[in-house]
Amino acid sequence: MTIDLGGHTVRAWRNAIFAIFALTGIGLSSWVSRTPAVRDALDASTARMGWIIFGLAAGSIVGLTTSSHVLARIGGRRTILIALLLASVGLAVVGIGALATATAIVITGLALFGAGYGLCDVAMNVEGAANEHALDRTIMPLFHASFSVGTMIGAGLGTIAEFTRVPVIVHLGLVAVVIAGTTVVTVRFLPRNAGEQDPEQADEEPVSPRTRLAVWREPRTLLIGVIVLGLAFAEGSANDWLTLAMVDGHDVSNAIGSLVFGIFVAAMTLGRIVGVKLLDTYGRVRVLLASAACAVTGLAIVIFVPSATVATAGVVLWGLGSALGFPVGLSAAADEPRLSAARVSVVATIGYVAFLAGPPALGFLGERVGLLHAFIAVLVFAALAGLASPAARPIGTQTPHER
């Protein structure tokens, strides 16, 4: 398929993808940074917070599982526009729920936010993989670094909001307006047809819904999903529980807990920026092995070392180790362009089962054993990601970095 850039350049397309990744990061971390405030407003227990966060997971799974079909029908540009507008509405509804101290409204808002977020996640990664092929160089980790920059911005704003006692509805409402407005402007620079099904390709086996579903039986795709699952669980558990774990497990204030989360996303950002050079030099498999080892070490420090200062150093290792699981896994899933949207959808769905459904399970486990000890489950899955890392070895004719 010939990509229709609508008169814009490949670099403008790239820059628009950077902006979209950043917007999703801002939206997610804006919610995460205010979880202690929402918990306090709702007077929710750890287990109840697990159910609340499950609203985000459920919405995201719906968005993810429908994404490849939506992309094939309307393309990446319109999918991203609809998805981020939906996510913006959801974020505003969460703020309304916090003001009304209504758990059901917060869960509804998180479900809407999650549906838009999950749909956008696959669409923007398909766009990123297509742009990476067009540029013929490693760039996917940098897109995810842009997501991390967005999470840093969101976490920073959330920390300021906590320190200055800005109401959750004001904070999340303003973020929702910014995301929606920026999205409307940004999508104009995306190709008109990326992600749509090409009617001229694969005459012998058209890319039907049945064909797209068949990738769920591919061993390589499923093993890449295990890699993303393990390291996404490490990332997602920090997104949802690190702030509260530092507050409840290491006896720091809400504001300091938000600050530690900001340190985590800063470490992830650094890992993704440096990761481009590491991938070009050492290849996917060795970098993923090292990432898993780093995540396991950092988690062990956070779990078992009582000092909040030392635990913060462990958070840095945890963030560095979690940085490359999603971008490298999704890039590997997109090695063959024809079914890249379907394979990215599968891998992203598997990853989000851990990224979004795993953390609520940690809440239930944390109610029994404490959040810090619940993180042992995250450590185990990160180790499994390291064991599965050989599956990311490239297939076919790839650019030099894909070794």
Cα dihedral sign, 120-47-93-166: negative
Residue 6 has a pLDDT of: 57
Assess contact for 37 and 254: CB atoms under 8 A: yes
- DSSP string over 279-317: HHHHHHHHHHHHHHHHHHHHHHHHHH---HHHHHHHHHH
Q: Nearest-CA neighbor of 303 among 237, 360, 352?
A: 237
Residue 201 has a pLDDT of: 46
* Angle ∠(85,90,95) on CA atoms, nearest 5: 130
Residue 400 has a pLDDT of: 40
- Residue 250 in 3-state DSSP? coil
The domains of the chain, with CATH numbers, are: 10-193+216-392 (1.20.1250.20)
How far apart are the C-alpha atoms of 129 and 327, rounded to whole Å?
10
In this prediction, residue 78 has a pLDDT band, given cuts at 50, 70 and 90, of: very high
Assess contact for 37 and 168: CB atoms under 8 A: yes
For residue range 340-389, list pLDDT tens digits in order: 777 877 887 787 777 666 767 888 888 888 889 999 999 999 999 999 99
How far apart are the C-alpha atoms of 71 and 285, rounded to whole Å?
30
pLDDT of 200 > 70? The answer is no
In this prediction, residue 196 has a pLDDT band, given cuts at 50, 70 and 90, of: low
In this prediction, residue 204 has a pLDDT band, given cuts at 50, 70 and 90, of: very low
As to burial, measured by CB atoms within 10 angstroms (0-12 exposed, 13-18 middle, 19+ buried), residue 359 is: buried
How far apart are the C-alpha atoms of 247 and 39, rounded to whole Å?
12
HSE-CB for 220 with a 13 A CA cutoff: 14
Q: Nearest-CA neighbor of 60 among 357, 378, 358?
A: 357
pLDDT of 402 > 80? The answer is no
Residue 49 has a pLDDT of: 84
pLDDT of 299 > 90? The answer is yes
- DSSP string over 172-241: HHHHHHHHHHHHHHHGGGS-SSTTS--TTS-SSS---HHHHHHGGG-HHHHHHHHHHHHHHHHHHHIIII
Residue 246 has a pLDDT of: 92
How far apart are the C-alpha atoms of 125 and 118, rounded to whole Å?
11
